[in-house]
A and B are shown apart, each in its own frame.
Chain A
């Protein structure tokens, strides 16, 4: 079963508009973390935002916010006022306890965002 599901392989958004990238997750660990990363065409992975499973409020980092709906197990990324430089691949990831006593991070398949001028 997929642990992290990103159902949108590709998305288009007009410059200056907001866009929501979907992410649902599956875990039995009561303590987990959710992350979004951006990967531009240059290939580096850039951390965007983090949400802890016990955090009461949705995380925000500048133009990025995470719409955390715990009961639905969703952690959608909202990018406000899209810019051309936002065109990239976006990965949702979850950290949960590993069965070997540590932690592991699982990534979704990603959503490619195209921002149109």
Chain B
């Protein structure tokens, strides 16, 4: 079946502009994660949605970052007033914790954000 999809695949923006990154999880997956991966680095957790529960926003680096998940499916990560240090690959992952394999996460291809 279809995997996690993300759009756009690449985004170049100017410092100070707002950007929106989209994630379509695997159908039926109840959990959705956003991560950030800077060049040559590991993954930095940003935010986690589980079903209808309040999201875990503990990883968001500043109040310029926000995310929402509409209808328990598609999620949008918004970065306001982008800064050059926001340049990174933003990865989305989804999981079905009902599957009995722990919280195995399946990742999308990522959005490469470049802030000039």
A residues lining the B interface (CB < 8 Å): 33, 35, 37, 43-47, 50, 52, 91, 93, 95, 98-110
Contacts and interface: CB of A to CB of B under 8 A. Distances in A.
A43 B89 contact: yes
A45 B102 CA distance: 17
B104 A98 contact: no
A37 B91 CA distance: 14
Contacts of B41: 109
A38 to B, nearest CB: 11
B65 interface: no
Contacts, number: 65
Given A35-B104, A47-B105, A47-B106, A100 B42 contact: no
A106 B102 CA distance: 14
B50 A102 contact: yes
Interface residues of B, number: 28
A91 B103 contact: no
Given A103-B103, A104-B58, A43 B110 contact: yes
Contacts of A91: 42-43
B2 interface: no
A105 B56 contact: no
A98 B106 contact: no
A52 B105 CA distance: 14
Contacts of B89: 43
20 contacts: A33-B102, A35-B104, A37-B107, A44-B110, A45-B93, A45-B107, A52-B102, A91-B42, A93-B43, A95-B102, A98-B56, A98-B58, A101-B53, A102-B53, A104-B58, A105-B33, A105-B45, A107-B43, A108-B42, A110-B42
